[in-house]
Structure 1
Amino acid sequence: MSDAVRNREFRAIWIAEAQSILGDHLTTVALSIVVYGRTGSPLWAATVYALTFLPALAGGLGLSQLADRFPRKTVLVVSAVVQAVLVGAMAVPGMPLAPLCVLVVLARLAGAPANAAQNALTREVFTDDELYLRSQDLRGITSNIAMLIGLAGGGFLVTSFGASWALAIDALTFLVAALLVQLWVRQRPAAGNPDDGWFTAVRWVWGQRRLRVLLALSWLVGLAVIPEGLAAPLADQIGAPEQAVGWLLAADPVGFILGTFVLSRFVSAENRKRVMGVLATLAAAILIGFAATPNLPFALLLLMLAGAAGSYIITVGATFITWVPNDKRGGAGGVYRTGLRVAQGIGVALGGVVADLVGSATTAIALAGAAGVVLTIPVALSWARVRKADSSEKD
């Protein structure tokens, strides 16, 4: 990973992304506290929380294609500045709830083309597959660390200094991101053809069998996030203290960070492709251990192991972007990211429904693991055939 950091362009993109993610999670915490404090309604708090990611789903398929139609550096800078203005407006003390919701939606929509441009531009910066994958490992590790710091520090910052300060810091992170990219990232021409249809990249992706298999591997993450949605009832069921909810939420990302480090340090890019199906199956199988209604230490261990195995998703995403032509990477990346977010949202919702029906969070998680194994095995076998065909074509 140190080789990737030596690249000046990547350093700018990497640092800009990491501190923006930290700021975004400060905003997530701030909005939850502000809305619940004003309304006293869990429904309103949950609704505004949903608004922090739902626009990204809509923007992922549509606005992400701007990353192909315009120079990607320009997309990153403009998007960051727009988000800084919108989040800055959210930081105005006493902002009414309705305008606040509108600003949340607009800010997240503005971020959709930036996410697509960032992924596509990183692939342009690194033409070597091995080095590119290492750069994605570093992004994955720092993103999860920034998320943990943002969520942990957000509550302290809001309760100590007020929500406006957290929102103002988030706005500042976007300005810093725009400045870093403007100063250190080289300007490149637009990769796509402006005359192409708006959803050309989307249609192209669906026409490629090997990309459909990679999408299926990424969607399986939807089952892996079910424990996150059930953290509170899980803690209650296993007799853990209330503060253990935070530990249960942190266990998966901590495992993910460790797993990503191990893969990046000890496994080559080609071998990582070889074991993707195995790791995807293992990530689901580990959750079956919750059928034994584990105590808190064992539950944390299971979640960390599942998170470590789930780090295969970085190789999935890197392979997906690599196999897409440069002129379609913005739109195709939007398809990938949108599918991932939808799968996660559906997974959390289904986990809640099942837990309510069976009356047990541990049983619901174990069932998710069993379903994951059943669904993953055929996808893993399809991936093995795709990888074999790809290797034959190279030979």
Structure 2
Amino acid sequence: MGRAGHSFGLLRRNRDFAALWGAELFSTLGDRVHRVALAALVYRLTGSLTETGIAFVATALPDLLFGLAAGSFVDRWDRRRAMIVSNLLRVPAVVLIPVVAHIHLWLVYLILFWVNTLALVFRPAKTALLPSIVKSDELHAANSLNGIMENTADVLGYPLGGILVSTASVWFGSEQGLAAAFIFDGLMFVVSALCIASIRPRGAPPERDAVTSSIWHDMREGVAFTWRQPLVRANTAVMLLGPLTLGATFPLLVGYAWEVLGGGEWEYSMLGTGISVGSILAGFWLTSLSSVRTGLSVVVGLVVMGLGVMGTAMVSHLWLAVALMAISGMGSMMVLVPSVTLVQRHTPDRLLGRVFAVRSTLIFAAMIITNAVGGVAGERFGVRESLFFCGSALVALVLLASVFPSVRASDTPPMLADEPQVAMDEA
């Protein structure tokens, strides 16, 4: 516990990291309330898992279309200001969602597309900003703390979303209950932007006059680095197995909450809470470690995720399902923290936004396919059957991939700040 306590001391010692941590806490809290409200809104209006899947596709589609370009802009812009603008522009959009839903559902999909296009800037900018406000040897602790924070927001946000939607719906009517949740999300974006405004990262943003390469060149450079750096390439490939198989669980868990558990917003929010509790427990464990064997942690984490989903498919009791989703959440943290730290250590600062954008684009491309397939599969083959298939497919594919030494490889000493091109020449 001593090392974990030292890691948490980073929040006290580093004011800028504490501000970034708080910004993400508020933003994530609003997002989880938003997810519960969105699932309830679409399912109440349509009763269709296919339509629910389309809503998740609209959420992920911008990453496929614009993700690479967003990473290039993040590396050109002041990352702190980009995050502030991204947050503030999303406020009016999320507040409008329950208003336009009763005009036509496709207007909701368009707004979700816009909101998540703006999020394309926020996500890689946040991860790329971190090495400029914490030391290299503190990155593992910082990423663990970020994971704990995000999942703490899940633990608070999912139940809050369920309570907010359910209670406000009883008091004011179903439409006002959903509107209250989306307004809360907008307020959280404002608070997050205020936190980011207080950050003062080390070093200056790149000179605009020095940026002479084209966006296309920047995008190609980010893809080339991801492909040529062996550790980053192997980690990216095995990480993709998660969204390729478990991306379908987003719409399936909506059907699971309403159909298998016979509930609604509360049951759905509890499933998300279970994932988050497991992630927090794993985050504390990771924070207590001085180092992690990245390849082994990712492989074991993905297998644990798959087993948790398989177990959930086999039960129909809420708290058993929550416990099994917690196991899956523990696995997800074992994948996320070592993977993010590896990329931050082995990628030059000028390429961080692009490399994280490449990975995000690939992940969301996989999720677009499986989100759509998950909704259709749940209606055609059954929710529980589809969940079990997703979990077992992940376990089988990960075990097959672990045969390759590069997948099981441990991390190596981090790249020095003055060695930006070493990995580019390894091919």
Per-residue CA shift, 1:16-49, capped at 9, x if unaligned?
Answer: 1111122223334445555666x55746665445
Given residue 152 of structure 1, which amino acid in structure 2 is its aligned partner? P
CA contact (8 A) 2:33 2:160 kept: yes
How far did residue 5 of structure 1 move? 1.0
How far did residue 219 of structure 1 move? 1.2
Look up the match of 1:179. Answer: 194
Look up the match of 1:262. Answer: 285
How far did residue 350 of structure 1 move? 4.5
How far did residue 142 of structure 1 move? 2.0
Q: Secondary structure at the match of 2:402?
A: helix
CA distance in 2, matches of 1:121, 1:388: 25
Given residue 110 of structure 1, which amino acid in structure 2 is its aligned partner? L
CA distance in 2, matches of 1:212, 1:270: 18
Q: Does 1:198 align with 2:218?
A: yes
5+ residue gaps, structure 1, are: none
Q: CA RMSD in A?
A: 3.6
CA distance in 2, matches of 1:165, 1:361: 30
Q: Which of 57, 67, 73 is residue 60 of structure 1 equivalent to? A: 67
CA distance in 2, matches of 1:280, 1:36: 29
- Aligned ranges 1:314-329 → 2 under 5 Å: 314-329=337-352
Per the normalisation by structure 1, the TM-score is 0.82
CA distance in 1, matches of 2:290, 2:297: 11
CA contact (8 A) 1:70 1:190 kept: yes
Change (3 A) 1:347 1:145: farther
Q: Does 1:307 align with 2:329?
A: yes
Q: Does 1:149 align with 2:156?
A: yes
Mean Cα displacement is larger for which, 66-75 or 310-319?
Answer: 310-319
CA distance in 2, matches of 1:389, 1:26: 36
CA distance in 1, matches of 2:29, 2:354: 26
CA contact (8 A) 2:238 2:407 kept: no
- Aligned ranges 1:104-253 → 2 under 5 Å: 104-129=112-137, 131-158=138-165, 159=169, 160=171, 162=176, 163-186=178-201, 188-191=203-206, 194-196=211-213, 197-199=217-219, 200-222=221-243, 223-224=245-246, 226-231=248-253, 234=256, 240-242=261-263, 244-253=267-276
How far did residue 349 of structure 1 move? 4.4
Look up the match of 1:340. Answer: 363
Q: Which of 281, 299, 315 is residue 277 of structure 1 equivalent to? A: 299
CA distance in 1, matches of 2:193, 2:388: 44
Look up the match of 1:368. Answer: 390
How far did residue 56 of structure 1 move? 3.8
Question: Number of aligned pairs?
Answer: 388
CA distance in 1, matches of 2:66, 2:236: 18
Per the normalisation by structure 2, the TM-score is 0.76
Q: Secondary structure at the match of 1:198?
A: helix
CA contact (8 A) 1:258 1:308 kept: yes
CA contact (8 A) 2:402 2:408 kept: no
Change (3 A) 1:214 1:115: same
Look up the match of 1:9. Answer: 16
5+ residue gaps, structure 2, are: 1-6, 417-427
CA distance in 1, matches of 2:414, 2:342: 17
CA distance in 2, matches of 1:329, 1:310: 22
Change (3 A) 1:327 1:382: farther
Change (3 A) 1:207 1:167: same
Q: Secondary structure at the match of 1:269?
A: coil
Per-residue CA shift, 1:48-76, capped at 9, x if unaligned?
Answer: 45433332443322223211011211212
How far did residue 114 of structure 1 move? 1.5
Change (3 A) 1:236 1:323: same
CA contact (8 A) 2:342 2:411 kept: no
Change (3 A) 1:353 1:170: closer
How far did residue 288 of structure 1 move? 5.1
Runs of 4+ in 1 over 6 A off after TM superposition: 91-95, 391-394
Q: Secondary structure at the match of 1:186?
A: coil
CA contact (8 A) 1:256 1:307 kept: yes
Given residue 305 of structure 2, which amino acid in structure 1 is its aligned partner? A
Q: Secondary structure at the match of 2:292?
A: helix
Change (3 A) 1:195 1:202: farther
CA contact (8 A) 2:19 2:199 kept: yes
CA distance in 1, matches of 2:163, 2:67: 32
